[in-house]
Structure formats: C-alpha cells, structure tokens
C-alpha cells in the first residue's frame, strides 16, 4: 500500500469536497475542450492538417472523443486509470506536436503556441495526479474501473 493511502489522504475535513471541486474543474474543462473538437471540426481539422497530422478530420474526432470521455472519467470517478492515463498521454503528445512554439518565427504566434504548450503540459501534470490517486477511495465518485 502506498504512503498516500496509508496516511489517510482524504481524512481532513472538507477534503472530499475540495477534491470533488478539483475533479469538476479539471474534468469539466477537458470535456468542454473535447466538445469544442466537434463544434469546430472544420477549423480544427484544418489546423491539424497544417501541423501535418495524418487524417486530420478523423484525428480531431478521435481526440475530441478521448477528451470528452477522459474528462467525464475524472469528473465521475469511473475508469479513472484509463481516462486520466489517456488524457496525460494525449496532452503531452499534442503539446509537442501541435504547439511546437520553438519552430514558429512570428513572435505573436510563437507566444500563442507557447501558452498552449504550457497549458497542455500543466493539464498533463494534473491528469497524472488523478492517475496517481486512482487507487485511493474518492468521495462522491462512482468508483468503477477495470484496473
């Protein structure tokens, strides 16, 4: 058993509620980002194609589905290992492939790509925290999973 579980990770007053709020913020934002893939499919597929992503329209739909399901996974506490793990991988890969600020010459566009890169890396870190805590009992969660 890990130190975090032995130490009573969520034993302090209000910890379950604060953790639920974190899940709502993170999972809700990620799921919303996924929905944006569907509502702006043409624009996002054009951007993905410009970045050299193969099958850009399919890739945008697939990544949108991954974001929606991963966000809902963290939000509900269901299949967290799969959802948070997939989000961490996706966010890191997309940071490196889609937001390659180091290749951009225009200073304004470079700053935009840097901001998006940092956002993805930060969110990947949050996904890894949820992944690390997936084995702990979560208050207000469905607590179902395959792993």
Each residue's pLDDT, cut to its tens digit, for the chain (147 residues) gives 454 555 577 778 889 999 999 999 999 999 999 999 999 999 999 999 999 999 999 999 999 999 999 999 999 999 999 999 999 999 999 999 999 999 999 999 999 999 999 999 999 999 999 999 998 889 999 989 876
CA 63, chain centre distance (Å): 11
Rounded to whole angstroms, the Cα distance separating 104 from 109 reads 7
Tell me the three state secondary structure of residue 100: coil
Q: DSSP readout, 22-45? A: HHHHHHHHHHHHHHHHHHTHHHHH
φ, ψ dihedrals at 78, nearest 5°: -115, 130
Q: Record the pTM.
A: 0.90
User: Count of CB atoms within 10 A of residue 30's CB?
Assistant: 27
């Amino acid at each position: 058993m890990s130190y975090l579980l032995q130490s009573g990770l969520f034993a302090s007053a209000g910890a379950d509620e604060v953790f639920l709020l974190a899940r709502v913020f993170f999972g809700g934002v990620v799921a919303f980002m996924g929905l944006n893939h569907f509502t702006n499919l043409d624009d996002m597929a054009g951007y993905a194609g410009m970045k050299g992503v193969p099958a850009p329209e399919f890739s945008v739909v697939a990544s949108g589905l991954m974001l929606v399901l991963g966000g809902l996974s963290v939000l509900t506490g269901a299949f967290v290992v799969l959802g948070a793990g997939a989000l961490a991988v996706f966010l890191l890969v997309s940071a490196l492939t889609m937001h390659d600020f180091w290749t951009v010459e225009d200073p304004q566009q470079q700053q935009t790509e840097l901001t998006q890169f940092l956002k993805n890396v930060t969110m990947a870190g949050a996904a890894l925290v949820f992944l690390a805590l997936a084995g702990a009992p979560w208050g207000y969660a469905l607590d179902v999973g395959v792993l």
